[in-house]
Structure 1
Amino acid sequence: MGSLKSKRWSDSIDRAIDSLPPALADGVDAFGVFIELEKGHSRHTVEGYQRDICQCAQFVATKCKRQIWESVKGEDISAWLQSLDDEDYSAASLARKLSALKHCARFLVAEKVIRDDFTELLSAPKLARHLPDTLSPEEVDALLEAPSRHSAQGLRDRAFLELMYSSGLRVSELCALTLQNLDLEEGFLRVEAGKRGKDRLTPVGGRAIEAIKAYLHTARPQLVRPKTGSVVFLSNRGTALSRKTVWHWIKKYAQVAGIEKSVKPHGLRHSFATHLLSNGADLRAIQEMLGHADIGTTEIYTKVDRKQLISAHKRFHPRKA
């Protein structure tokens, strides 16, 4: 396997790896190199994998006294997962962490660092497919009207809220959107999916186009700085708007709008899909706009729609009693 070191963008990841016994640290680093260079994973994905694997390696080193990957056993991993469950980690988080470790273990077997895959007999916890939280059309209207029309920040925030609801963008896709990938004349934008994914074209609605034009014409020039690139949505420093900032302002505007339920960035994406389906859009078209590889992922919204139908039936049917 050698002593290849993965590119470390994060100080926290750097410290976590360096705190491990050398042999365990080498395995985490080599796996990072593999998924970055061979698999073409993004920086965000590489860091996520390494963070989960470091957490496991730290546990087996301190609690199970393992100094090398070859000595790690399946029961060590079970004990690690149990410790996380005791700390109230969600089933989704446990499944993600085990998936990362399974990928790493297979890599270590292929590299002949270990003979047997210590995760082979472990299965992920079963995940309950929760219905996503959505806003009603009235709540969406109130949220989108909350930002000011008289400040650069308000115009920016109104534009990104309109766009998230109009096109079902993930917050990461919104923050990475560039001017080159935005075609307001044709009413489309291109979402770049990275090295391993597939770019997709997504429609932009009329109100979102109006809000974005107002932002680009009036507000964005006020936010541009000498080193500003071509990203559409800018912070007050002229850099790309961060996911944390988007999250912060959505929560603020939800409070201004008087929305009592928890409103998260992904909630606008869920609302986009649910409202399209409720108004007769084809599920395959929604799948394409959301960028879901599997139609099964999109089908969760049919359950949301059925829930609304049952609620409406109970409220309005003359024979409901």
Structure 2
Amino acid sequence: MTPLEHALARWLEALAVKALARSTITMRRRCLKEFIVWCAERGIESPDQVTRSVIERYQRHLYYYRFPESTTKNGRKVGLGQPLSLRTQHLYLSTLTVFFGWLTRQRWIAANPATELDLPKTPRHLPREALTVDEIERILAATADAGELGLRDRAIIETLYATGIRSFECAQLTVYDVDTQNGTLRVNEGKGRKDRVVPIGERACGWIEKYTSDLRPKLLIDANERTLFLSYRGAPMTNTTLGMIVRSYFQQVGVTKPGACHLFRHAMATEMLNNGADIHHIQLMLGHSSLNTTTVYTHVSMAKLREVYERTHPAKATRMATTVADAAALFASLDAEQDVDDAAA
């Protein structure tokens, strides 16, 4: 084991002690191993051999890197000479910054060589394409042709669409997390290890009840297994497996949009927003700690945008009249907000 590999093992141990999510630790391990392999090819084996110049060379390597083979990821083809995305480059480099920062604090090295590294700016794109309600209904209907497991798949997709939870959050649901009587679903240790409770609709509850009564007992092998959605072997499923299942229904009904489970999260947030939901409520549903994350879903339809424009823009003759009471309430709320700001100043 080289000094760099030893330092990586110690850092990963420190992350585990701090109770970081397993997925975060796995991602950081992968990023650092790529860097260590690159360093080894150039005779660099110790942390104190890594200078700012070395990291800048690695940054150029990431920029010019091209995939040697074609692979498929979430319905998209990558490879065949394609570069790493700016987001991926940023991830690899920011991981180095954190790693060498930890080494500096632990006195393994005198200074962090990545401190002043200029990270690539990651573009903040709107979701490429959201699923339409018609597409979702066709996907749901396709589960009827999948035999007994189609019942499980219908319950999974209904859950994803009804609640907007992430695929890994869905995969780790237990039989105790869904309260079909009260219409609530509990997410345990979601992203950032945060718990939350979200509402779930009657239709989704109905399909979950049917799955748990008619099919889950047949799949169950271990009586102590509490995971809600089981594979045909009676074992818990990974979020990757969920993605493959969902993607197979996309292909059956001719939906070619890239992505899988996450598209139902996008669809839920978009439809709720278009139908008048407050963005703060959507934030709570999605488990976002910041509105900056939720605003990616504010790509409302042009029809909705034009409706609001026609109703509110002062240049439009058809604008809605505002009563004195409405105006008073509006300005009172603004005054209250200003009072809060003044008190905090």
Does the TM-score normalized on the shorter chain lie above 0.5? yes
Picking from 111, 123, 126, the partner of 1:128 is 123
- Distance verdict in 2 for CA 1:98–1:135, change over 3 Å: same
Q: How does 1:167-206 map to 2 (within 5 A)?
A: 167-193=163-189, 197-206=193-202
Q: Is the 8 A contact 2:231 2:237 kept in 1?
A: yes
Q: Secondary structure at the match of 1:201?
A: strand
Which residue type is aligned with residue 250 of structure 1?
A: V
Q: Counterpart of 2:106?
A: 111
2:29 counterpart of 1:33: no
Q: Counterpart of 2:318?
A: none
Distance between the aligned counterparts of 1:265 and 1:153, measured in 2? 17
2:58 counterpart of 1:80: yes
Q: Is the 8 A contact 1:159 1:211 kept in 2?
A: yes
TM-score w.r.t. the length of structure 2 is 0.80
- Distance verdict in 2 for CA 1:227–1:45, change over 3 Å: farther
Q: Counterpart of 1:287?
A: 283
Q: Secondary structure at the match of 1:164?
A: helix
Distance between the aligned counterparts of 2:303 and 2:23, measured in 1? 36
- Distance verdict in 2 for CA 1:267–1:247, change over 3 Å: same
Q: Counterpart of 1:55?
A: 34
Picking from 261, 265, 281, the partner of 1:265 is 261
Distance between the aligned counterparts of 1:214 and 1:283, measured in 2? 33
Cα drift, residue 308 of structure 1: 6.0
Which residue type is aligned with residue 115 of structure 2?
A: E
2:3 counterpart of 1:23: yes
- Distance verdict in 2 for CA 1:117–1:308, change over 3 Å: farther
Q: Counterpart of 2:294?
A: 298
Cα drift, residue 151 of structure 1: 3.1
Cα drift, residue 197 of structure 1: 3.1
Cα drift, residue 309 of structure 1: 4.2
Q: Secondary structure at the match of 1:305?
A: coil
Distance between the aligned counterparts of 2:258 and 2:24, measured in 1? 27
Cα drift, residue 284 of structure 1: 0.4
Q: Is the 8 A contact 1:190 1:201 kept in 2?
A: yes
- Distance verdict in 2 for CA 1:145–1:263, change over 3 Å: farther
Distance between the aligned counterparts of 1:197 and 1:186, measured in 2? 24
Cα drift, residue 227 of structure 1: 6.0
Distance between the aligned counterparts of 1:130 and 1:111, measured in 2? 38
Distance between the aligned counterparts of 1:209 and 1:150, measured in 2? 20
- Distance verdict in 2 for CA 1:279–1:295, change over 3 Å: same
Distance between the aligned counterparts of 2:139 and 2:259, measured in 1? 10
% identity of equivalent residues? 30
Which residue type is aligned with residue 68 of structure 1?
A: S
Distance between the aligned counterparts of 1:181 and 1:253, measured in 2? 26
TM-score w.r.t. the length of structure 1 is 0.85
Q: Secondary structure at the match of 1:189?
A: strand
Q: Counterpart of 1:221?
A: 217
Cα drift, residue 188 of structure 1: 0.6
Cα drift, residue 254 of structure 1: 1.1
Q: Is the 8 A contact 2:274 2:301 kept in 1?
A: no
Q: Secondary structure at the match of 1:180?
A: coil
Q: How does 1:144-183 map to 2 (within 5 A)?
A: 144-148=140-144, 151-183=147-179
Distance between the aligned counterparts of 2:146 and 2:210, measured in 1? 11
Q: Secondary structure at the match of 1:222?
A: helix
Distance between the aligned counterparts of 1:311 and 1:143, measured in 2? 30
Q: Is the 8 A contact 2:52 2:113 kept in 1?
A: yes
Cα drift, residue 259 of structure 1: 2.0
Q: Is the 8 A contact 1:149 1:155 kept in 2?
A: no
Cα drift, residue 72 of structure 1: 0.2
Consecutive unaligned residues in structure 1, runs of 5 or more: 1-20, 314-321
Cα drift, residue 150 of structure 1: 7.3
C-alpha RMSD of matched pairs (Å): 2.0
Cα drift, residue 148 of structure 1: 1.9
Q: Is the 8 A contact 1:152 1:215 kept in 2?
A: no
Q: Is the 8 A contact 1:144 1:158 kept in 2?
A: yes
Q: Secondary structure at the match of 1:202?
A: strand
Instruction: Summarize deviations over 1:44-81 as a string: whole Å, max 9, x none.
Output: 22111111011112112213x21210110112112222
Cα drift, residue 310 of structure 1: 5.8
* Larger Rg, first or second structure (1 or 2): 2
Q: Secondary structure at the match of 2:144?
A: coil
- Of stretches 269-278 and 76-85 in structure 1, the one that deviates more from structure 2 is 76-85
Distance between the aligned counterparts of 1:273 and 1:61, measured in 2? 46
Cα drift, residue 196 of structure 1: 5.4
Instruction: Summarize deviations over 1:63-112 as a string: whole Å, max 9, x none.
Output: 3x212101101121122222222221111111111221111111100111
Distance between the aligned counterparts of 2:254 and 2:180, measured in 1? 31
